[in-house]
């Protein structure tokens, strides 16, 4: 099903009409609306999970947890709105003695207007209709128009209806959250002159096409895309000696989690030659199982992506797991010199339960191979206190938005300090799509010069500043 051009126009017009109401809404109002949406998801979790499981086959346990994560994100952003520091309120008082004389300047961040959000396939709740992009855009004060993912259309419609109704019942205007369907409608949405920004989670090819449409408009708009990521892991010789089996088991659990369909899956793992780490992985992997992939397109692409890696002359199949519905987890093995020679082949993301182990002989080989790694959401370093890893760490942090020193990257806490974004092709920007700072994507700076107080936005008036974090004449003020 595809949303018609006429229907798309009506949907965007409704969002544009709602935008001034969202922009003028108080923190208390906006927080109430967000919590109402969260409550609606929780109250209907069983029905939502049932539909989601039919369409995605992710299982009730995983999906139930994802509903809780999604409602939790909405509640987090309600608290972000109430706390107020996201506004970046900044005041410079007038000073006639300055050279040149300084006027009074009051700066804040203000909403952009209607935001387009493109749902992801692998997280049908947390990165979909009411997911993090939608939650952060609403929290910033913008109506949202969601392009449903074709992998879960019934769930998308059900979620959109529940959340839109909850928002309106709580006092938000009509047009606060709407849904469109079909690729053509998605392309038209990102080009519509009343849409002011877009958020996307998906493939490099799909994201790049939309990014180009957003940038090619007569009035280009910001496009916040989360695209491909191989999430490199480095394991040192000392780390293998200290915890070889635990690391091997952890790696297998991580790259097969969700049948390898997490954007933070460790896709390439640099291991020291001669330590036997690959043997430990080979011993652990046969107990891991495959499973159905999310969509027909992903199911068709996985064998081709796997074959692309296996066809490289340096690559061998190290071990595999249990085949389920035609999908078998696989660990491949190559060497650092080959990665340096053919990064376009060996460092291409393969969405599904596969990881590539890369043996390195020394630090120089390791660093040359890391230098070939494209931008990623995460990088993981397993080392021991005896290791000198400063140069390795420097390379890893240049290539990722989050660097882990323990555990595995397939888990993204929704917090104030989270960073879920990295250099291209991980994302099209340097902002995060998870956590409190995700709100910054859907705001723009606005300064008022010598404005009469009655004409200032409420949050920039002196009486409001007594309770909001702000900076005045260069000094940070945090109300008690």
Instruction: Give start and end residues of each alpha helix (H) in 171-295.
Output: 183-191, 204-215, 237-256, 277-284
Q: How far apart are CA 148 and CA 58, in angstroms?
A: 18
The question of whether 263 is a catalytic residue gets the answer yes
Which backbone phi and psi does 475 adopt, to 5 degrees? -110, 130
Strand partners, 182: none
Tokens coding 169: 């019942």
Decide if 320 contacts 283 (C-beta within 8 A). no
Which backbone phi and psi does 435 adopt, to 5 degrees? 95, 175
Using the structure block, give the residue that is written with the tokens 């939608």.
134
Distances from the Cα of 300 to the Cα of 8, 204, 315, angstroms:
31, 17, 22
For residue 179, give the DSSP letter. Answer: E
Given 226, 278, 349, 365, the catalytic residue? 226
Q: How far apart are CA 454 and CA 103, in angstroms?
A: 18
Given 263, 278, 349, 350, the catalytic residue? 263
Nearest Cα to Cα of residue 122 among 205, 54, 57, 37: 57
Q: Tell how far CA 126 is from the center of its chain.
A: 10
Other CB atoms within 10 A of residue 15 CB? 28
Other CB atoms within 10 A of residue 391 CB? 12
The question of whether 226 is a catalytic residue gets the answer yes
Where does 18-104 show beta strands of DSSP type E?
90-92
Active site residues: 226, 263
């Amino acid at each position: 099903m595809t949303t018609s051009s006429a229907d798309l126009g009506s949907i965007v017009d409704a969002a544009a009409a709602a935008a001034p109401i969202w922009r003028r809404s108080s923190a208390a109002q906006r927080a109430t609306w967000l919590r109402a949406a969260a409550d609606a998801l929780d109250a209907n979790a069983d029905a939502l999970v049932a539909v989601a499981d039919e369409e995605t086959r992710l299982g009730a346990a995983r999906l139930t947890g994802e509903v809780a994560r999604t409602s939790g994100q909405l509640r987090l952003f309600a608290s972000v709105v109430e706390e107020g520091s996201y506004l970046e309120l900044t005041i410079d008082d007038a000073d006639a003695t300055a050279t040149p004389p300084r006027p009074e300047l009051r700066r804040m961040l203000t909403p952009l207007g209607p935001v387009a959000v493109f749902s992801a396939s692998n997280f049908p709740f947390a990165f979909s209709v009411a997911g993090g992009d939608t939650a952060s855009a609403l929290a910033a004060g913008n109506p949202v128009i969601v392009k449903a993912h074709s992998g879960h259309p019934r769930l998308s419609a059900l979620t959109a209806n529940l959340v839109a109704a909850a928002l309106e019942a709580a006092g938000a205007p009509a047009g606060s959250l709407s849904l469109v369907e079909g690729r053509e409608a998605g392309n038209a949405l990102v080009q519509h002159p009343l849409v002011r920004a877009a958020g996307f989670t998906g493939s490099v090819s799909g994201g790049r096409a939309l990014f180009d449409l957003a940038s090619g408009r007569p009035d280009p708009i910001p496009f916040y895309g989360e695209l491909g990521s191989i999430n490199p892991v480095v394991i040192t010789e000392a780390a293998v000696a200290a915890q070889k089996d635990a690391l091997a088991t952890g790696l297998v659990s991580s790259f097969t989690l969700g049948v390898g369909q997490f954007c933070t899956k460790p896709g390439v793992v640099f291991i020291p030659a001669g330590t036997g780490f690959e043997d430990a992985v080979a011993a652990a992997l046969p107990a891991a199982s495959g499973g159905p992939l999310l969509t027909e397109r992903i199911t068709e692409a996985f064998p081709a992506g796997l074959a692309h890696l296996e066809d490289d002359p340096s690559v061998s199949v190290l071990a595999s797991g249990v085949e389920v519905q035609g999908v078998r987890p696989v660990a491949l093995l190559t060497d650092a010199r080959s990665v340096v020679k053919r990064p376009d082949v060996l460092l291409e993301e393969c969405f599904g339960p596969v990881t590539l182990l890369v043996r390195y002989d020394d630090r120089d080989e390791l660093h040359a191979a890391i230098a070939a790694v494209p931008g990623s959401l995460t990088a993981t370093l397993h080392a021991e206190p005896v290791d000198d890893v400063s140069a390795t760490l420097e390379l890893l942090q240049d290539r990722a938005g989050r660097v882990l020193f323990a555990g595995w990257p397939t888990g993204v806490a929704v917090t104030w300090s989270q960073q879920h974004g990295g250099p291209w092709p991980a994302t099209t920007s340097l902002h995060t799509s998870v956590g409190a700072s995700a709100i910054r994507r859907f705001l723009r700076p606005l300064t008022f010069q010598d404005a009469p107080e009655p004409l200032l936005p409420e949050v920039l008036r002196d009486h409001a500043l007594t309770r909001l974090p702000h900076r005045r004449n260069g000094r940070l003020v945090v109300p008690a």
